[in-house]
Amino acid sequence: MKKSILLILLFVISCSSGESNSTTPDTTSTTLATTSTTKVSNTRLLNISVYDDSTTDSYYLIKVAVDSPTYKKSWEPDLEFGSDKLNLPPIEIGEIGTIVLTFDSSSISIPLCFSPTIDSKGDLGSIWIVLNDKDIEIDGLPIQDVVINRSDQYVMKLKDNSKPNC
């Protein structure tokens, strides 16, 4: 016990700084100004989320094909628990890609263009595909918002704040 108190006391005394009277003149030191640069990324991380909100008329087939100059993938979301998500690798801002949505039959495919913008960050980098009984809603900043009629595949563009450059 005495040793630990002695060690603590010795530590406190050695670390404390007392005033000292010095006869040396004060000196001024100068440091060079440093600059730092922040690299602004020209890429964005997008993702595609598919939600199955159908209640009476289930989908027989859902397939999403992503085709861009830097990434190609065909994906069948696992909707057993109602939703699935595909994270895309970094995509250049302004790069134009295509999502081909195939549903109910391999002969029913709807191409949609997408393009990440400078604002496509976090949730704003998401493309949502919502499967309803009668239609499919597609929403997100990097893609034109549309509603696809399931029976005749009519694509209705919505007025929105999306900013795809395609």
Q: What is the pLDDT of residues 99-114, one digit of tens each?
A: 999 999 999 999 999 9
Q: Confirm whether 88 is domain-assigned.
A: yes
Percentage of the residues of the chain whose pLDDT score is greater than 90: 61
142: in domain: yes
User: Does pTM top 0.95 for this prediction?
Assistant: no
Domain total of the chain: 1
Give the neighbor-by-neighbor strand order of the sheet with 47-52: 83-87, 47-52, 126-131, 135-139, 146-149, 155-157
The tokens describing 133, both together, are 């009984």
Q: Is residue 17, in this structure, part of any structural domain at all?
A: no
Does 3 reside within a domain? no
Q: For residue 85, is it within any domain? A: yes
- H or E element: which one contains 114? strand 109-114
Q: Is residue 74 included in any domain, yes or no?
A: yes
* Amino acid, single-letter form, for residue 20: S
pLDDT tens for 130-140 read: 999 999 999 99
Residue span of the structural domain in which 86 resides: 51-157
Question: What residues does 56 pair with on adjacent strands?
Answer: none
